[in-house]
Structure 1
Amino acid sequence: MPKRRRFLLVCIALSALAGLFVLSKTHADKPKPPDTILFEPNIVFGKGGDDDLKLDLARPKKIDGKAPALVVIHGGGWISGDRSSLHPLLFGFANAGVVCISIQYRLAPQAKFPAQIEDVKCAVRWLRANADQYQIDPNRIGAIGMSAGAHLAILLAVTPDQKSFEGTGGHPTHSSQICTAVGIAGPYDLTLGYASSVKQSAQEGPAVRSMLESFLSGNPDQVPDQYRDASPINYVRKDKPLPPLQLLHGEADTLVLVEQADVMAKKLREAGAMVDYLRISDATHGTFGKDQDQHLLRIFQFLRTHLKLPGA
């Protein structure tokens, strides 16, 4: 497939995705996979407690050698969301030569942290366990997430050595380490997020506190260790190698405040980590602003580089 067409397919897919990561129910209309890819829904990749965890997989029909893989993580404040909402992203990146999976993870309040990151890590291990079957390069696995999904994608990237997050979902002999991650409109310091919620509107402030309390079993005064352990910013250190990360956040985001990405990018830079931070002046929690196509293309270019797609 010509490189220019691959760019366009991905940008179209990302554009279709742009409005889907708000904290709401997913759209009822679901796109059909194009003829150029293979789509396998409802694959069981592990166990979340006693329940099967499932993913949807899209991959190119023809793979020369080994392909990179991408874990796509939906948002929803850790309490809602649906992996099928991200099918446009799967189809676009599969057309660009990536094996993509959109994953289910356990939701709060029924499942408390760290259940969610355990499920995400299990999905990465599943990719490595099935690398031969799907022609995946186990050294080129990345993640992308929106909102709560961004939190989980970045937490995944900065905790390769956190054994307490591995869980018992399956494939224990394989690593959950990834080579890159993208976080869009995500929270990275949850204690700060709770404290700053008092500055938000009468609708959004209580909603933020409710989601965090459901996710972490209380407020920061009640469970300070949970807030500390669930915050990606607390795993960034100068003596700890981290993969290249990309953060995108809107200055007009009134749900997850842009200070979240500001403090995370600052901490990463101080630690000497590679971070591509795009602070978008007119973007909200559910949009990329007037230059949407440019920002979406930047996501694709970042992943193309760090997943080592052809032409990178």
Structure 2
Amino acid sequence: MQAPLKSLVWAVCLCTLLGFVGEAATTSAAEPVVPPGITLERGIVFGKGGEQELKLDIAYPKSTDGQLPALVFIHGGGWVGGDREAFLPLIVQFSQAGIVCLTVDYRLAPQHRFPAQLEDVKCAVRWLRANAEKYHVDPQRIAAFGASAGAHLAALLGTTNGDARWEGSGGNADQSSSVCAVVGLSGAYDLTLGYENSVKQSFFEGRSVRGMLESFLGGKPADKGDAYRSASPVEHVQATTPPMILVHGTADTLVPIEQSEVMEQKLKAAGVDVEFFRLEGGTHSSFGKDAQQSMLKISESIRARLQPAAAK
């Protein structure tokens, strides 16, 4: 990546200021201003989830001397809401740093339950790899970036690399859905634990967590234990899991930081490269104390994970 690091810092800052991490961010973002040198394509059909067409938006530099890294952005919304447009300003900003960026839709619960959402985001990665030449993407440098429920799906993308059980039939079956790295903001990684601990949360947040999980997985852990385990990234961690960047606020009361702590422990035990940014005072939709410094460090970490192998 040759663009200045400040572009990445501003991109992460946008994510925070516009509240895209929060589960309540279910409304579409305003149309972003596309700067000179960047192309934004909207509403591309990348595959099908059952009978539903799946769409993405993609932003990329108009000219490049070689292959570029790519980031697949996955929105939050508790698996029951949200859409790809929430990340539109962010993909435009990141594309200025020399990254091909796409933000994707996926089927939502309760109409569509797990693993529909994972199948759909895997389909998006396969589509990008199939179109790598067109967009000047390095197929070896495709990473996933998710916030909240999107962080959960991004982590599942990484931990199920190479596992054919979760591919679905959305299109481009000849391509790999593997990613080289994962960035997760305020994610849930052990869904059984999340449900069990929801009784310790406030009345409204605990009820919200239970409602989202039951919609996503079709019931309570007592009845759907296998689904809760299958949908938990911590259950799929192995030595071949790609590097992960975990970001979580210490004051997040909707998805407590314990979720990232448990994920970090699993990754370290498997020998996986993991960097955990613990944001003091950060909530589910803010970066807490020393936000600017935290964003700088996170941006640098993302930049490092997307460097060509020879440059690392």
TM-score w.r.t. the length of structure 1 is 0.95
Contact 2:70–2:99 at 8 Å: present in 1 too? yes
In structure 2, the residue matched to 1:183 is 184
Runs of 4+ in 1 over 4 A off after TM superposition: 309-312
In structure 2, the residue matched to 1:267 is 266
In structure 1, the residue matched to 2:304 is 305
In structure 2, the residue matched to 1:231 is 232
1:108-163 CA-partner distances (Å, limit 9, x unpaired): 01110000000000000001100111111101100110000000001100101321
In structure 2, the residue matched to 1:20 is 20
The alpha carbon displacement at 1:277 in A equals: 0.5
Contact 2:28–2:83 at 8 Å: present in 1 too? no
Query: Which secondary structure state, in structure 2, belongs to the residue aligned with residue 221 of structure 1?
Result: helix
**Separation in 2, partners of 1:290, 1:82:** 29
**Separation in 2, partners of 1:28, 1:90:** 12
Query: Which secondary structure state, in structure 1, belongs to the residue aligned with residue 222 of structure 2?
Result: coil
In structure 1, the residue matched to 2:252 is 253
Query: Which secondary structure state, in structure 2, belongs to the residue aligned with residue 298 of structure 1?
Result: helix
1:28-58 CA-partner distances (Å, limit 9, x unpaired): 5332222230100101100011111000000
In structure 2, the residue matched to 1:111 is 112
**Separation in 1, partners of 2:2, 2:206:** 47
Contact 2:242–2:273 at 8 Å: present in 1 too? yes
**Separation in 1, partners of 2:74, 2:28:** 16
**Separation in 1, partners of 2:182, 2:2:** 26
In structure 2, the residue matched to 1:120 is 121
Contact 1:30–1:85 at 8 Å: present in 2 too? no
**Separation in 2, partners of 1:311, 1:31:** 33
The alpha carbon displacement at 1:93 in A equals: 1.3
Letter in 1 for 2:267: L
In structure 2, the residue matched to 1:55 is 56
**Separation in 1, partners of 2:46, 2:214:** 28
**Separation in 2, partners of 1:282, 1:81:** 25
In structure 2, the residue matched to 1:278 is 277
Aligned residues: 308
**Separation in 2, partners of 1:27, 1:295:** 27
Unmatched runs of 5 consecutive residues or more in structure 1: none
Unmatched runs of 5 consecutive residues or more in structure 2: none
* Aligned residues with identical type, % of pairs: 51
Contact 1:20–1:26 at 8 Å: present in 2 too? no
Contact 2:280–2:289 at 8 Å: present in 1 too? no
